[in-house]
Amino acid sequence: MTSELIINVTREESRVALLEGGQVVELYIERKKDTSLVGNVYKGRVLKILPGMQSSFIDIGLEKAAFLYVSDIMPNVDDYYAPFMESDSGDAVEMDEPLAQTEAAKPLPIEELIQEGQEILVQVAKDPMGTKGARVTSYVTLPGRYCVLMPNVEHVGISRRIEKEETREQLKAIASELKPAGFGIIMRTASEDASAEEIRRDLEFLLLVWENIQRKKDKVTAPGLLYSDLDLVFRSIRDFMSHEVSRLVIDSPDEFERLCEFVKSFFSRLLERIELYEGREPIFDAFAIEHDVSRALERKVWLKSGGYIIIDQTEAMTVIDVNTGKFVGKESLEDTILKTNLEAVKETAYQIRLRNLGGIIIMDFIDMEKLENRDKVFNALVEAMKKDRAKSTIYNISELGIIQMTRKRVRESLGRVLCEQCPYCEGKGFVKSARTVAYEIFRKLRKMNLPGGKMAVITANSAVAELLSDEERYGIEELESTFKIKLIVKEDFKLHQEHYEISVL
């Protein structure tokens, strides 16, 4: 199936949508004020050790202390030992040689590994989520487009997504020849179509990054940032531009030029697949993406048959409930239930990817009497989740029609990114955040394309109006300068936070 990457870049945020067959299946949003920390390397200081939880708090210079589990600590923090790694792109990794059992591999209590006040090099594995700080690890791994560099590991890993044994052997030979002593390499899925020269250039770049981290480590006082991962636009090229992606379309001329320069230097064969969008209609509207984004925030999702699924997300898990709704079927009750469940399976797998639901996921399908029908639903879900980049584990369907699964969570779900706790229902639900509404107003104004000399009055909820007049005033000024118009912001405390009005005078 043909895939496309659509990138929308504004002053406020970058949004990347992965389309399969013209439908949005994954959406990534990075706001300038809330950039992801995953992949960043810090020189931190141990604040507190919790023997009862076999974990510790690490000060890496953020508002909340980072969390470090004993399993993420190397016995010698000057060594970097990563027997298994899964990258942002979901490359499951399989080591071609078993790792030797050493003293370092034996579990030790955390209090014997680190001490309070100690300085330690760590990498962010998970962004801060909700009330939790970032999760960090001392196993530093540096991903490139074709390979992942692991300092001080003498092994080669090959992505499990590369299935041809001949290709695996070729890549193993290339990696073994290119990798310097004291380093390990994971060959990513993208390396399947790469030449030895392209892999070599990728590896040389990663080695320079590691050398720079080592130099900065001796100069920086803890806590301090040593390395920051690529921004979302560049990560899109590195992590998502597989051979299945036919093109990348971006709407920012400046970012287009920056991206082309980056690609020329490292991934020249991708240059012909990068396009600048020059249409007058906003790029996410032109590709019908905005509708899917709005739909991904709804609690109830309708199925084509008339059935529907309900998605409820909590702090620890997500519950998905399947209902027949308006669908009455044409044959037996069992047949109606089976058809509804099979249709719900496809939509559920799609929504899990689009919303980036992680952690524990419970799916309550409609009860089926026949064991063969339960097996059909389970197998359909396993097949539908194969396209997902994130690692997941699916457990067999129970007699009650319940399927349990876990899905790796590295970043916040789409709902958590775009919404905030609702003040109207005392935190029991969610509404779009004031910033999200403000950015919607900016997009609406750009879409309106008002003629020069006009004046527009924006009437919004007090929180949104205050944001537009203060922190986001540069966005207002940019629109006024670009379109030669005058914008006036008025607040109306009676308006719901998600509602606003734009009047043209």
Q: Is 101 exposed, middle or buried (0-12, 13-18, 19+ CB in 10 A)?
A: exposed
Structure tokens at 289: 């993406």
Residue 89 is predicted with a pLDDT of 45
Residue 61 is predicted with a pLDDT of 93
Q: Where are the domains of the chain?
A: 3-34+234-291, 41-226, 298-407, 433-504
The topology under which CATH files domain 3-34+234-291 is: Nucleotidyltransferase; domain 5 (3.30.420)
Residue 80 is predicted with a pLDDT of 35
pTM for the full predicted model: 0.79
Q: Which CATH number fits domain 433-504: 3.40.1260.20, 3.40.190.10, 3.90.1150.10, 3.40.140.80?
A: 3.40.1260.20
The topology under which CATH files domain 41-226 is: OB fold (Dihydrolipoamide Acetyltransferase, E2P) (2.40.50)
CB 347 within 8 A of CB 297: no
DSSP letters for 50-117: ETTTTEEEEE-SSSS-EEEEGGG--SSTTS---S----TT---EEESSPPP--GGGS---GGGT--TT
Pick from 165, 134, 154: nearest CA to 64:
134
CB 201 within 8 A of CB 266: yes
Structure tokens at 448: 């309106």
Residue 170 is predicted with a pLDDT of 92
Residue 123 is predicted with a pLDDT of 94
Q: Cα–Cα distance between 149 and 5 in angstroms, integer?
A: 26
Residue 76 is predicted with a pLDDT of 43
CATH 3.30.70 applies to domain 298-407: no
Structure tokens at 400: 């009650």
CB 345 within 8 A of CB 362: no
Instruction: Give the ranges where 129-286 is alpha helix by DSSP (H).
Output: 165-178, 196-219, 232-235, 253-266, 283-286
Per-residue pLDDT of the chain (505 residues; tens, 9 = 90+): 689 999 999 999 999 999 998 899 999 999 987 888 999 999 999 999 999 999 999 999 998 999 999 988 865 433 333 333 344 445 545 444 434 334 445 568 998 889 999 999 999 999 888 778 999 998 889 999 999 998 877 778 998 888 889 999 999 999 999 988 888 899 998 898 888 988 998 999 999 999 999 999 989 999 999 999 989 999 998 888 887 899 999 999 999 999 999 888 878 888 999 999 999 999 999 999 998 888 889 999 999 989 999 999 887 899 999 998 887 766 788 888 999 999 999 999 999 999 999 999 999 999 988 999 999 999 999 999 988 888 899 999 988 889 999 998 878 889 888 988 777 776 667 788 999 999 999 999 999 988 888 999 999 999 999 999 999 999 999 999 999 999 999 999 999 999 999 999 8
Pick from 331, 330, 311: nearest CA to 320:
311
